[in-house]
Amino acid sequence: MHNFLSQLPQDTTQEHFEAIINTKQTRIERIVSFGQTSPDVGWYDQHENEWVMVLEGSGTIEFEDGTSKTLSKGDYLNIAAHTKHKVTHTAINEPTVWLAIFYI
């Protein structure tokens, strides 16, 4: 048994990605952010759908159409494949722990 919120990375200078499950059709990741955001230039444009939930902290996802969603503890959303988006904010005073499920 494992706990998704235990043994968080101690290095706060970078974002951490940990594969939990990785198959041909599904990938589950734990992402831990410490104030990191997406690069200023460019968008994520994934061939998979992405369901994402914030378990601790908070983060804001901006979409190419100019809308944005701020997620706090317990909030989730589904991002359809090829929906261009980026992370524009994560909490700086606590870790933001994301559960991301990528699926075909």
Domain of 44: which CATH number?
A: 2.60.120.10
Residue 55 lies in a domain: yes
Give residue 88's identity as a one-letter amino acid code: T
Tell the residue number behind the tokens 């290095």, with chain if given. Answer: 11
- What pLDDT was estimated at residue 74? 98
The number of folded domains in the chain is 1
pTM, two decimals, is 0.95
Residue 9 lies in a domain: no
Are the CB atoms for 68 and 60 separated by under 8 Å?
A: yes
Residue 61 lies in a domain: yes
Residue 72 lies in a domain: yes
What count of Cα atoms within 13 Å lies in the side-chain half-sphere of residue 57?
22
pLDDT tens, N- to C-terminus, the chain (104 residues): 999 999 999 999 999 999 999 999 999 999 999 999 999 899 999 999 999 999 999 999 999 999 999 999 999 999 999 999 999 999 999 999 999 999 99
- What pLDDT was estimated at residue 56? 98
